[in-house]
Amino acid sequence: MTQAPQDDPRTLVSTDWLARHLKDPDLRILDASWYLPDAGRNGRAEYEACHIPGARFFDIDEMSDQRSSLPHMAPPNEKFISRMRAMGVGDGHQVVVYDGAGMFSAPRVWWTFRLMGKLDIAVLDGGLPKWLAEGRETEDMPPVLRDRHITVSRQNHLVRDVTQVAHAAKLGQAQVVDARGAARFAGEAPEPRPGLRAGHIPGALNLPFGQLLKHDGTMKDIPGLKAAFEAAGVDLARPVITSCGSGVTAAILALALERIGHRNWSLYDGSWAEWGMYEDLPVEAGPARVTQV
């Protein structure tokens, strides 16, 4: 079976690829629909009404470190193992994750699996909107779940905390690339979470995640992704720390970096929800210093 050039079961697969593999016994599909607090949408309710056949619902907020006051921080290994086993997702499975916005929250789950050392996971390019637009099969019943053993090996180099980010930004050891929209980055638009300062991490570059997508919501091809990073002032020969509002869309940047073969990246899990909360951390305001595409 030939696969389209863009299909890579470790990063991104097309709806055609998923349709061909839908009945594979070792395929597991996850619906990771999640929305910003001001979006007025409920990912779980949408899943219960309509999802790709066989999909399990991955609750980003529940599948998090509940000991933290920050939103949906990466879960401890034990919690990830427990939840995945209960969902029937384990060793030897090829996982495909999608969301109801097209390309928004699913990459966060891709990153979470990568953090746990699980490589056989891909994001569905275009997500549920593209699947529905093509008239493909859906259902409203949850699948029958059977416990499956899963092992993890946490990859700590893929995540950064506030101390590491502050250090790297101050010393110029890595480029912080912010996936938020230009107005939020510049401090000209309010944050969706109350109580946060406006602006960005000093020295950060701005690459709104939408600039990595085509008009139909699918991800740009590899030359297009490289061009977007370079237009934002990112030196692809140097390390990158991705950031955003709360660590969700930062994963879209991480996925794109992985797609273009840039392996020296990590994700700032707390992102602006953490940095913008602490008064003793410096904040920069004003538009990005590089012309956007």
Cα distances from 271 to residues 55, 121, 133, 164, 266, in angstroms, run 29, 24, 33, 12, 12
Q: Is 90 helix (H, G, I), strand (E, B) or coil?
A: coil
Inter-residue contact 145 to 32 (CB < 8 Å): no
Q: What is the CA radius of gyration of the chain?
A: 18
Inter-residue contact 46 to 33 (CB < 8 Å): yes
Q: What is the dihedral of CA 148, 77, 158, 187, to 10 degrees?
A: 110
Q: Of these residues, 121, 244, 252, 288, which one is catalytic?
A: 244
> End-to-end alpha-carbon separation of the chain, Å?
37
Specify the residue for token string 């955003």. 244
Q: Is 206 helix (H, G, I), strand (E, B) or coil?
A: strand
15: closest CA among 218, 155, 251, 281?
218
Query: What is the number of other CB atoms lying within 10 angstroms of the CB of residue 29?
Result: 22
Phi, psi dihedral angles at 175 (to 5 degrees): -90, 125
Distance from C-alpha of 276 to C-alpha of 272, rounded to nearest angstrom: 5
Q: In what order do the strands lie in the sheet with 240-243?
A: 159-160, 265-268, 240-243, 175-178, 205-206
User: Any catalytic annotation for residue 50?
Assistant: no
Inter-residue contact 207 to 232 (CB < 8 Å): yes
Active site amino acids: 244
